Amino acid sequence: MSRRLPVGGPGLLLPLLLLFASASCGRKDAKVAPPAQAMPVKVQTAKPEKVNDTTEYVSTLKSRDSAVIMPQVEGQITKIFVRSGDRVNAGTPLMQIDPAKQQATVKSQEDTHAAAEANLKYAEQQYARAKDLSSAGVISKQEFDQAKSAVDNAHAQVRALSAQVREQQVELHYYRVAAPSSGIVGDIPVHVGDRVTVSTILTTVDKPGTLEAYVYVPIERAPKLKMNMPVDLVDGSGNVIAKSKVSFISPQVDNTTQSVLVKAQIANQKDALRQSQFVRARVIWGSQDTPVVPVLAVSRIGGEYFAFVAEPDSKGGYVARQKVLKVGQIVGNDYVVVDGIKSGDKVIVSGTQFLIDGTGVVPQEASST
């Protein structure tokens, strides 16, 4: 009797056996992926440094020996004797205002004074005659008293006219504008032929030397202001160009700006600074020990600042942890860290663009210079 094979027997079993054998071989050859290797990175240990608490304000420099020249009389300018930038001494003529009208007034007063002196001389002669006649009993006492009164009135008139002449002569002197002190002539906004009044600014005379920085501090910071508090003037790059201290604190608040005026005297060495110049004044409120981190180690994302710190993990290695920072001013090449990093943290300063939070790292101390 012949045996019947199952339907599809050899034809179906063969593929199954081959598939099983292939799967068995695949399991033998499979290798487990090794764990990711830790990334070597440079780190700097955050150390506390003494950092100044400062605020910068725009200030104006003003000369302590600057005179604004304004005329004391009205009239037309006929001459200008100097140019902007000229060095002048006290009393040097600067400008001439047409004195013709005043000269005529002085001449009229002098003529009136001369007439009064002639009248006085005549009255004195009359008084001398009256005195002799009165002694001889020729004239009455009343006539003598009248002669004496005439002399007294003539003397009073001469004194009054003398005072008027001196007054007009002094005013005539004002028609020639002179430098009140030695210094450098500033801008001259007027021209020959201009009519000026007592409120017209003719020019300025600035004496080289000490300047004052006018700093307007917001009223919110005013309670912290103290006399002799350090103030530095800095240039556009932040370099200190002059050092000073607070020499004046206004007791009043500016109604317009709601600020307090602070002054600091600046020794203007080599005349490097100028009157009315705008400069940045850095008020130093105090100093404190604060950790700093290199600027290159800090990234800014969405308006927030971040840095990576190498922290120990449970396996005895290190991992990179991303920290959110609150930074202050930049000092040199470092950020002052207000919050987010403490002293002793190992701040990662290289390869930060390849890191994500939790990446294994091998920290290597980098030079802080």
Instruction: Give the domain CATH number at 242.
Output: 2.40.30.170
Residue 124: pLDDT band with limits 50, 70, 90: very high
- Does the residue 83 lie in any domain? yes
> What token pair was written down for 234?
């800095």
Residue 168: pLDDT band with limits 50, 70, 90: very high
Residue 256, beta-bridge partner list: none
- Which of 185, 215, 233 delimits the end of a domain? 185
Instruction: Judge if 110 and 157 occupy the same domain.
Output: yes
Residue 32: pLDDT band with limits 50, 70, 90: very low
The reported pLDDT for the residue numbered 163 is: 95
- Which of 250, 272, 288 delimits the end of a domain? 288
Mean pLDDT in residue range 53-61: 90
- Does the residue 330 lie in any domain? yes
CB 353 within 8 A of CB 359: no
Instruction: Judge if 150 and 116 occupy the same domain.
Output: yes
Asked if pLDDT for residue 14 goes beyond 80, the answer is no
Instruction: Judge if 224 and 311 occupy the same domain.
Output: no
Lowest mean pLDDT among 33-47, 276-290, 325-339: 33-47
Higher pLDDT, 159 or 315: 159
Give pLDDT tens digits for 81-114. Answer: 999 989 999 999 999 999 999 999 999 999 999 9
Instruction: Judge if 60 and 93 occupy the same domain.
Output: no
Residue 35: pLDDT band with limits 50, 70, 90: low
- If one counts the domains in the chain, the total is 3
Distance of alpha carbon 173 from alpha carbon 72, whole angstroms: 10
The reported pLDDT for the residue numbered 38 is: 83
The reported pLDDT for the residue numbered 240 is: 87
What is the CATH classification number for the domain harbouring 349?
A: 2.40.420.20
The reported pLDDT for the residue numbered 366 is: 73
Distance of alpha carbon 59 from alpha carbon 262, whole angstroms: 10
- Which of 246, 272, 288 delimits the end of a domain? 288
The reported pLDDT for the residue numbered 90 is: 92
Give pLDDT tens digits for 213-250. Answer: 999 999 999 999 999 999 999 988 878 888 999 999 99
Asked if pLDDT for residue 339 goes beyond 70, the answer is yes
- Does the residue 202 lie in any domain? no
Asked if pLDDT for residue 26 goes beyond 60, the answer is no
The reported pLDDT for the residue numbered 31 is: 47
3-state secondary structure of 183: strand
Instruction: Judge if 76 and 166 occupy the same domain.
Output: yes
Instruction: Judge if 79 and 180 occupy the same domain.
Output: yes
The reported pLDDT for the residue numbered 344 is: 87
Asked if pLDDT for residue 276 goes beyond 60, the answer is yes
- Does the residue 174 lie in any domain? yes
Asked if pLDDT for residue 8 goes beyond 70, the answer is no
Instruction: Judge if 217 and 158 occupy the same domain.
Output: no
- Does the residue 9 lie in any domain? no
Instruction: Judge if 227 and 301 occupy the same domain.
Output: no
Distance of alpha carbon 163 from alpha carbon 121, whole angstroms: 19
Give pLDDT tens digits for 192-209. Answer: 999 999 999 999 998 877
The reported pLDDT for the residue numbered 58 is: 92
162-to-150, 176, 320 alpha-carbon distances in Å: 18, 23, 97
**Any idea what DSSP says for residue 5?**
P
The torsion angles phi and psi of 150, rounded to 5 degrees, stand at -65, -40
Instruction: Judge if 93 and 176 occupy the same domain.
Output: yes
Instruction: Judge if 222 and 269 occupy the same domain.
Output: yes
The reported pLDDT for the residue numbered 12 is: 43
Instruction: Judge if 179 and 226 occupy the same domain.
Output: no
Per cent of the chain over pLDDT 70 is 89
Instruction: Judge if 313 and 214 occupy the same domain.
Output: no
- Does the residue 347 lie in any domain? yes
Give the range of the structural domain holding residue 126, as residue numbers without chain letter: 71-185
Asked if pLDDT for residue 11 goes beyond 70, the answer is no
The reported pLDDT for the residue numbered 107 is: 94
Across the chain, mean pLDDT equals: 86
The reported pLDDT for the residue numbered 15 is: 45
The torsion angles phi and psi of 15, rounded to 5 degrees, stand at -65, -35
The reported pLDDT for the residue numbered 36 is: 61
- Does the residue 284 lie in any domain? yes
Asked if pLDDT for residue 261 goes beyond 50, the answer is yes
Mean pLDDT in residue range 171-188: 92
The reported pLDDT for the residue numbered 251 is: 94
- Does the residue 335 lie in any domain? yes
